[in-house]
Amino acid sequence: MKKLICVLILLCASCQNMAIERGPNSFDYKFVPGATCDEVQTTLEELNNHNEFKYDPKETSKWVEAKTDKPKAIALVAHGLNLRPSKMDSLVEVLTEENIEVLRISLGGHRGSKREGLFNSHQGWRNEFQAHYCLALKKASKESLPIYYLGFSLGALIGLDFLNTQDFHHIKKMVLISPASDVHWYSKIPGKLGWIGGRISLPSKNLKEYRSQPSTSLASYKSMKLSQESLEDMNINSLNIPTLIYVDPDDELVSLKKIKDRISKNSLDHWKLSTISNEGSTLKKTYHHLIVDRPSMGPKVWDRVTTDIKNHFK
């Protein structure tokens, strides 16, 4: 029995060592909450290239121009865990049609390389979000434009995580869809298994055409867990900005009750929570958590949500 325990300990230690072999970032600065964007020197080309990981060009971060020559705002748009970033393009198009230029974010592990996801970390995702935010801010500052944020699931969480560390920021409004900030107790289990090692992955139940990879690494789940924990103490001055939140009450991962409790406990009076149902989805198989486009939401709900978003970002 003692030998078996020793073997297990060695195995776990080995897995942990492999998981921190190297990070996925193609830039070398580290996230610093108080850093100004003048201190964050990186480019979109650097974020979209890596000397070890091969990326799918359709899934890397990209700028999407507004439909007119002179945009009225800049928006950051971020995807969910193990969701193809390109599946956010329907929402991106809604914004560009409203004359908003968009920087669509692609986080580590979602750019087409399965191996990259094995090295995901909370620090790494924070690095990447800060880099994208600063790219957007520099462009917005030149043109005297406001910055908006739209995030789905993990994307919503990472945005909140970043803003929670900032005493001052330039994001004026947000839209959060199925935010992974507040989840059911069983949704936290994979994150608690992160100690086993990041190279281990769990099969994804998400639809093949939506998921980034067939499986999700424990390193990714652990990173998401740390982001969730970072919101236990909320920076209300930073986060209490005009925000629309959409949740399906039957969401398999996100807890509507916990979101309501968070809003009430922290007096987030600028947050507006709306419930929606994707029972009208036209997909062959549906998940209540997956609400990112017309097929997954259903035509009626899609029209309602996109109209609300347009009005919110006026």
φ, ψ dihedrals at 254, nearest 5°: -90, 140
Confidence (pLDDT) at 28: 56
Domains, the chain, with CATH or none: 36-115+131-183+232-312 (3.40.50.1820)
Report the C-alpha gap between 303 and 258 in whole angstroms: 27
- pTM for this model (two decimals): 0.90
Burial class (CB in 10 A: 0-12, 13-18, 19+), 202: middle
Lowest mean pLDDT among 202-206, 220-224, 289-293: 202-206
Name 117's bridge partners.
none
Tokens of 157: 């969480």
- 192 pLDDT band, cuts 50/70/90, is confident
Residue 17 makes CB contacts below 8 A (sequence gap 6+) with none
Q: Which of 2, 174, 1 is nearest to 75 (CA)?
A: 174
Judged against a pLDDT cut of 50, whether residue 9 lies above it is answered with: no
Confidence (pLDDT) at 30: 72
- 17 pLDDT band, cuts 50/70/90, is very low
Q: Which of 109, 94, 27, 26 is nearest to 64 (CA)?
A: 94
State the residue for tokens 């560009």: 96
- 198 pLDDT band, cuts 50/70/90, is low
Confidence (pLDDT) at 235: 95
